[in-house]
Chain A
């Protein structure tokens, strides 16, 4: 780890004022991923500005939706009765991620900003354009089992690891940001970007911009999150899927679907969403939507398995959200989100 200065802020303005002018400065909240990367010498901030004392730790009603303060812990958000009841996909995504200890430390503002789990990014001895622009991408010809199917470039094939972000993308959450040029609102699907030639830039946030809240719009449909991982608990998604489904009588009024583990950002599937709109839920329809969602997948050497896995998962997420198949556990819990469930009878 490299030496750095540590500072505490008590207001968003103070935090922004401290970070914005210093190119090597960064905010720190729970630090659950950031500090690991600093110990690995992947991140080398000169200044860390602690934002945990900012007054951003409440969940409140907002225009029929909910405003989730950026400083709310993953645990607090997941267990909040309004979140669990009205946006079960959010609780399911949070509780299917990390461990209790990590969720207690991690914040909603920090979670979508966690860096990729690409092993080449995390090893400073490997070539990685995201860590060191221009050094190349070792994953392209390396072990790319956990890498992207969609939207990748020759510069970067990394995926975004957050579960929460996938649920927020499906729900069209809004991100409230403050920064050196004042506040602005970002539609959640626009928060993250594709790697292109500048994979070092994960998001559309400018340096010094701070997330202050994540706003969930009014929503009366059903939502659900489903995740496949290599072990039953405490593992990143191989593939995940969030669904937000609104019905009108027997028909789907609007379906929004986001995939996780397949791209540099939560991957919305507009073609599939269009196919679903106005139709009556059925296994056949959901299969067709899943086929459409993965039609443009571009597998690498080791990740082609994600195509059948992702199709099957998306179909099942739609079946479970629509009620054609039962949830595997109570809505809003990790049991509902975890494909395969836990071991034991």
Chain B
């Protein structure tokens, strides 16, 4: 049988999605459903003086208005959930529980839920609620903040400290023959998945106990089950969460707990199932964001370009009730062989909504700053930007000293240069022109940490020859249904058509929040373990059955192939799975499996690498930049499915292009309200902004990460793209732009 893994299988849920038959969280048909609408804060700082719900309560169809004065009480957000720090500096999420007090910490903060029998009536009634405030002046900028901290770790992970010094970067910088210090700034951006946040909550009494079912736009049923059950003082098993499809997340939908909690509270109060679907405008307040950053990069080098010192200091912000800190040194800490390395992160608590991870958290904007600084250093030294990177090629992790599990970045640089035509460009800045446009070429290194986490799965063989593999991971458009079906089919020795994969359900074997480009490396091995275990059980059935041609064999004598157990020594002796089960009078046979990273994590440093090369056209007189060509060459381990992988990469690259050229959410400097609140004004790249993106892979298996040899690919396309574009704009114009995004107002001249 031909292996399914590694083949460009079409997306198995593609037809469902195109036909509108894939059910997303807001689409479940729950009998008796009522609808919630949110009243949110008009001001950024202060407290609610009064909420007048009288007019709303009189409006037709209104069932209840929940406010901080009458909403059910919640337990505080847990300190830690499944190993991640939630509370405190560096913690990953907003810890503010909704409707528990009168304080207002950001504009758009939910203050009331209006529940009515139709969505239109709920939203109309919400507009009738009158809120008065005791307003205090908000702190909305890094300059204005009075609460500043130095978080120790990112989300409590001791392997990811946020204040680090290796060697003596200060002295080395002072002594460096060549040095530069530059400040890079990036604005706030939003994930803006097409599917907005939504929850449906249904309460039932089962055997006298309260039981809550939540259909929620979450990419982490396990965390959500933990947070909801503890907040509502329920046993964990009395909260059931379903999410078989997510319409894009990009870092959002992992840490948003107020929306499902508000829905659960509302359903409890009106004693009916309630749905709350958040509006696009609300997404700019409650769905997380990438915080703005101000990064100071200092590089010290020998005259030949070898780095002697790197210092990367970040100023960023969070809300009053989240310690989330954009970890901007994630690339600086590992990319180049530099003996003296330091980085620091200062967090400013502002009266703005809470940030959270967004595709390439830290890497995308931190890597942008580093890779732009490297380009500036190359120009200073009159060195080719690729050559500067090769001279500083890290053969091991400079922070930890560990060897890489697998690194073939040199090949990426070489192939990327060929694809873009690097040698044909005139390296002199501002030297190439076509019509109204200046032409520029730029490059940047890209990378992503190859994380792997513990997970479980279950495999079931049916007597009709089909199989089902399950794990509580998520399909976010990433292709999870497709590649885990492929991996499981190979694990079971079955054709892919006979295998289904189920996910997105808290009753399934535990899996971590799907994110951090870790899903393939996490769920793939767990699925294989479950497959192995169910085949082992099947072998025992056959071996012990006197009627089987495999009777009396040992497990090691047998292998699974094409849906049959076969004696390796004599392939004529074989029996298909269904026959074995039917004779044993078993409709099905199931087994669980678990997999987790092991001591290889102590021995190696796990990263994916790549290079992004771009060609841009800059019309300086009008400030417009267009990307004419973009090539990504990636070393991401073994590919599970080149088709879904290609989509992952071009999506990531397009998001990086948006970050480089157009995406930004501004907040009013006085009121703290988002002044960009819809997809007409928040510009994500259109097709006309996106060139044909060339993606190539080395496809070299990582020998250490897992038996699959595959590292994740969700974010690496995004990470290097903003710097490659910014560097190309420099090459085109001879002008350095150190503030993202590079919108026409910044570029226009004359």
Binding site for B on A (CB under 8 A): 1-3, 36, 40-41, 117, 119-120, 122-123, 125-126, 138, 141-143, 145, 228, 230-236, 238, 302, 305-306, 308-309, 311-313, 316, 338-345
Contact = CB atoms under 8 A, between A and B. Distances in A.
Query: Which residue of B107, B668, B675, B743 has the most chain A CB atoms within 10 A of its CB atom?
Result: B675
Contact of A305 (B661, B668, B748): B748
8 contacts: A117-B680, A119-B681, A122-B677, A143-B669, A305-B746, A308-B750, A344-B628, A345-B629
Q: Is the interface of B mostly helix, strand, loop or mixed?
A: loop
A119 B681 CA distance: 9
Query: Ordered nearest first, which 4 A-B pairs have the shortest CB separation?
Result: A340-B624, A232-B688, A312-B621, A125-B42
Contacts of B629: 344-345
B269 to A, nearest CB: 24
Contact of B124 (A2, A40, A123, A312): A2
Interface stretch (B386-394, B485-493, B689-697): B689-697
A313 B676 CA distance: 26
A311 B750 CA distance: 9
Contact of A142 (B662, B668, B680): B668
B185 interface: no
B675 A230 contact: no
Interface in B670-689: 670-671, 673, 675-678, 680-681, 683, 685-689
Contacts of A234: 680, 686
A2 B59 CA distance: 11
B123 interface: yes
Contact of B619 (A230, A238, A339, A343): A339
B29 interface: no
B745 interface: yes
A309 B748 contact: yes
B176 to A, nearest CB: 37
B165 interface: no
A290 B615 CA distance: 32
A36 B281 CA distance: 12
A312 B747 CA distance: 13
Interface centre among A2, A36, A339, A343, by most chain B C-beta atoms within 10 angstroms, is A343
A1 B59 CA distance: 13
Nearest to B43: A125
Given A122-B677, A126-B668, A142-B675, A340 B622 contact: yes
A143 B675 contact: yes
A11 to B, nearest CB: 30
Given A142-B670, A143-B669, A230 B691 contact: no
A345 B675 contact: no
A308 B668 contact: no
A230 B670 contact: no
A305 B745 contact: yes
Contacts of A305: 623, 744-746, 748
Given A122-B677, A230-B683, A308 B749 contact: yes
Contacts of A230: 662, 683, 743-744
Interface string B706-745: 0000000000000000000000000000000000000111
A138 B744 contact: no
Contact of B622 (A119, A123, A141, A228): A228
A270 to B, nearest CB: 24
A343 B668 contact: no
Contacts of B615: 345
Given A145-B745, A308-B750, A312-B748, A123 B624 contact: no
Contacts of B670: 138, 141-142
A341 B677 contact: no
A319 to B, nearest CB: 10
A312 B622 contact: yes
Given A1-B120, A142-B670, A344 B686 contact: no
A343 B669 contact: no
A302 B624 CA distance: 18
Contacts of A313: 621-622
Contact of A345 (B124, B621, B691): B691
Contacts of A340: 617, 619, 622, 624-626
A306 B750 CA distance: 11
B127 interface: yes
A343 B673 contact: no
A305 B621 CA distance: 11
B628 A123 contact: no
B627 interface: yes
Contacts of B662: 230-231
Nearest to B675: A119
A338 B687 CA distance: 14
Contact of A235 (B42, B623, B628, B683): B683
B127 A228 contact: no
Contact of B626 (A1, A302, A312, A342): A342
A339 B748 contact: no
Nearest to B59: A3
A231 B685 contact: yes
A284 B173 CA distance: 51
B627 A126 contact: no
Contacts of B617: 340-341
Q: Which of B621, B691, B746 has the most CB of A within 10 A?
A: B621
B603 interface: no
Contact of A343 (B42, B124, B675, B691): B691
Given A230-B662, A236-B680, A344-B691, A143 B668 contact: yes
A339 B435 CA distance: 12
A125 B673 contact: yes
Contacts of B426: none
Contacts of A142: 668-671, 675
Given A123-B673, A126-B671, A117 B124 contact: no
B687 A2 contact: no
Nearest to A304: B745
Given A119-B676, A312-B750, 17 more contacts: A1-B124, A125-B42, A230-B683, A231-B683, A232-B689, A234-B680, A236-B680, A305-B746, A306-B745, A308-B749, A311-B750, A312-B622, A340-B625, A340-B626, A341-B626, A342-B626, A343-B688
